[in-house]
Structure 1
Amino acid sequence: MAYQTLSAFYDKLTDDQPYDQWRTVIQHFLPSEHVATVLDLGCGTGTLTTSFLDFADHVVGMDLSEEMVTYAQQKSEKVEWLVGNMAAFSLSNRFDVITILCDSLNYLTDEEDVLATLNHVYQHLKNDGVLIFDVHTTQKMDTQFNGATYLDDRENLTLVWQTEPGELPHSVWHDLTFFVQRENGLYERYDESQFQRTLDKPIYHNMLESIGFKKVTSFYDFDPNNDNPTSDRLFFVATK
């Protein structure tokens, strides 16, 4: 899913996201304190990706949205930024760590695309390399996004975010309306729709094992000791 309108406002609307918690999880599961190579799939505007330079020699960020990557390029010239599809990519490098964070995998709504992505990740990991990804839980998709409306009012920018259940199991339509205040004081309106789907936990687990990952662990809400399925975010860590 390529963000169009949202890319221009993404950083302002996500400045309260728990990026430090994502980073803590990643550092906890690194194969070593410092690694040579990290690939971040679905990197968005690169806020998390650029922070990986603190523990990796070479960082690559990839996103399907050219607009998102354009904004990411402004954050660091040390990261290698790529436009690409996580379900169909081929790179010459092999990586110590590959991440798919911030529920980016939920934008793949076909199970075959999810499986293809995990297969490509496996092929691009070094032996003993680690995949870390997170997705919305089925509980969150089926309850919190079930016809809910959210309002985010910032300086010169207002977002009205409406959700509706999708046609597929554990799926949701996000209908986003942006009101952007221009220099003349008038507001300009933009509309965008996004579609997300999550899968039951055993499906992800079985996919990872069938591909050949030798160790698969899971937990919830950034806490490796949390096994409560009524949580909001499900994490997987898989070792090749």
Structure 2
Amino acid sequence: MAYDRMSDYYDLLTNDQPYDKWKEIVGHYVVNPTNEILDIGCGTGRLTAQLTEFGHVSGLDLSEDMLNIAEKRNPDIKWYCQDMRDLDLPQQYDVITIFCDSLNYVTDPEDVLQVFNYVNQYLKDDGLLIFDVHSINKMNHQFNNQNYIDETEQLMLTWQAISGDEPNSVYHQMSFFVEREDGLYERFDEEHYQCTYEPSLYKQLLEFAGFEVKHTFTDFDINTFDENGDRHFFVAQK
């Protein structure tokens, strides 16, 4: 799912995201400053730009609008507009990341396996894949027909998280009200669909794709795995 007009307001809406914690996780596993790193689902590149501390970084996203913002943020990074289910890249990498629940936009297990197969293809031997996904607990509680409102000086967002037809899935129906120069508000809408799976299925798919699962943990705490947490992390080695 590509972001459309929401791209213009993505940074404003995600100011509270813990990018520093994602960066710390990469820093925990990546110690060689000459690593080649690919950040899949990079969005506007806020995290991607920070990862340059750990090596030579490239970013990849499905949304051309997001990448236009990312390139303005850091024109020295290589940015690729591609679908993670169909990668066509010029090199291999030491580390590939898929953060901020980007993998949850891949809503069929066969497609998740396809992503893992492509990642394996573009990882060097012993390379690492690090990613996170929404937990089933989060899908069934925070995203179970809940309504949210987010308001700033420039816009207001109303967000309905509607349970999908498939198990552990959600439709994010979002309405944006943006203030214009004449003081009136303009509305636009976006809908995104996400799905998540049992951790055991992600592990199985990783193994099918030729990975060894090295570590799983929850909510940025590398020492804890909790089924009832919000976000599960996986570290897998080729």
* TM-score, scaled to structure 2: 0.98
CA contact (8 A) 1:176 1:192 kept: yes
Deviations 1:55-101 (A, max 9, x none): 11x21101011111111111001110110010111212110100000
Whether 1:23 aligns to 2:35 is: no
Percent identity between matched residues is 48
Deviations 1:168-213 (A, max 9, x none): 1100000000000011100000111110000111000011112211
In structure 1, what is the Cα distance between the partners aligned to 2:186 and 2:213?
A: 50
In structure 2, list runs of 5 or more residues that go unmatched: none
Q: Give the Å deviation of 1:153.
A: 0.5
Q: Give the Å deviation of 1:5.
A: 1.8
In structure 1, what is the Cα distance between the partners aligned to 2:136 and 2:35?
A: 35
RMSD: 0.9
Q: Number of aligned pairs?
A: 238
| Aligned with residue 100 of structure 2, among 77, 102, 111 | 102
Matches within 5 A, 1:192-231: 192-231=190-229
CA contact (8 A) 1:27 1:33 kept: no
Following superposition, which runs of at least 4 residues in structure 1 exceed 2 angstroms of deviation?
Answer: none
Pick which of 88-97 and 210-219 moved more: 210-219
* TM-score, scaled to structure 1: 0.97
User: Aligned with 2:73: secondary structure?
Assistant: coil
Q: Give the Å deviation of 1:227.
A: 1.4
Matches within 5 A, 1:89-128: 89-128=87-126
In structure 2, what is the Cα distance between the partners aligned to 1:47 and 1:138?
A: 27
Matches within 5 A, 1:1-240: 1-30=1-30, 32-56=31-55, 58-240=56-238
Kindly provide the amino acid, as one letter, of the partner of residue 46 in structure 2.
Answer: T
In structure 1, what is the Cα distance between the partners aligned to 2:128 and 2:16?
A: 27
CA contact (8 A) 1:177 1:190 kept: yes
In structure 1, what is the Cα distance between the partners aligned to 2:167 and 2:6?
A: 26
Kindly provide the amino acid, as one letter, of the partner of residue 40 in structure 1.
Answer: D
Kindly provide the amino acid, as one letter, of the partner of residue 37 in structure 1.
Answer: E
Q: Give the Å deviation of 1:36.
A: 2.5
In structure 2, what is the Cα distance between the partners aligned to 1:184 and 1:94?
A: 50
CA contact (8 A) 1:218 1:234 kept: yes
